């Protein structure tokens, strides 16, 4: 009986010790400052596992805006865009507390548009890095959030 319990203990310990950790949830924060608009500003985010989330229509009386959304698992398609940017705003996007975009965005018009298309010289534009970064598909008017994760990171104690 003791050898059986010892074998069960070893197998269980090995399984727990070498299993990949549970994937943490992703959070996206949008900070808008110095909003200048004669009409409205609206930003949206859509994780494939959940419904689209929005700032709602922000007007000239809004002032500064900051909101964090839990978008679920980082192992899914997550994308964001300006639904309406009829004016300008200083925009910062953080993914899991990492700044991935920061710049002055300006656009006159309505309809879906990528953030990078509204900002000539962003102060931060994180692409192809460790951790979360951004990808701009040429065939869509939206920005993808990508997580640089190794399939083997669990072997080295990285979560």
pLDDT of residue 45: 96
pLDDT of residue 64: 92
Q: Give the model's pLDDT for residue 21.
A: 44
Map out the domains of the chain as residue ranges: 26-148
Q: What is the pLDDT of residue 10?
A: 52
Per-residue pLDDT of the chain (159 residues; tens, 9 = 90+): 555 555 555 545 544 444 444 447 899 999 999 999 988 899 999 999 889 999 999 987 888 999 999 999 988 999 999 999 999 999 999 999 999 999 999 999 888 999 999 998 999 999 987 789 999 998 999 999 998 765 544 444 444
Length of the chain: 159
What distances in angstroms separate CA 65 from CA 31, 93, 116, 128, one per listed residue? 6, 12, 19, 28
Give pLDDT, residue 16. 44
CA distance 47 to 1: 51
Asked if residue 127 lies in contact with residue 135, where contact means CB atoms within 8 angstroms, the answer is yes
- Which residue intervals of the chain are DSSP H helices? 2-18
Four-point Cα dihedral 79, 136, 87, 93, nearest 10:
60
Q: How far apart are CA 46 and CA 109, in angstroms?
A: 21
């Amino acid at each position: 009986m003791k050898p059986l319990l010892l074998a069960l203990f070893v197998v269980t310990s090995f399984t727990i010790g070498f299993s990949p950790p549970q994937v943490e949830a992703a959070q996206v924060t949008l900070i808008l400052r110095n909003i200048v608009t004669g009409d409205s500003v609206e930003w949206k985010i859509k994780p494939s596992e959940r419904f689209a989330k929005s700032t709602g229509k922000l007007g000239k009386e809004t002032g500064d805006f900051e909101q964090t959304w839990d978008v679920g698992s980082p192992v899914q398609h997550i994308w964001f865009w300006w639904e309406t940017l009829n004016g300008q705003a200083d925009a910062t996007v953080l993914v899991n507390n990492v700044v991935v975009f920061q710049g002055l965005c300006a656009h006159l018009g309505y309809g879906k548009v990528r953030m990078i298309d509204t900002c000539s010289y962003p102060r931060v534009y994180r692409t192809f890095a460790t951790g979360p970064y951004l990808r701009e598909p040429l065939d869509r008017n939206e920005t993808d959030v990508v997580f640089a994760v190794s399939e083997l990171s669990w072997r080295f104690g990285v979560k």
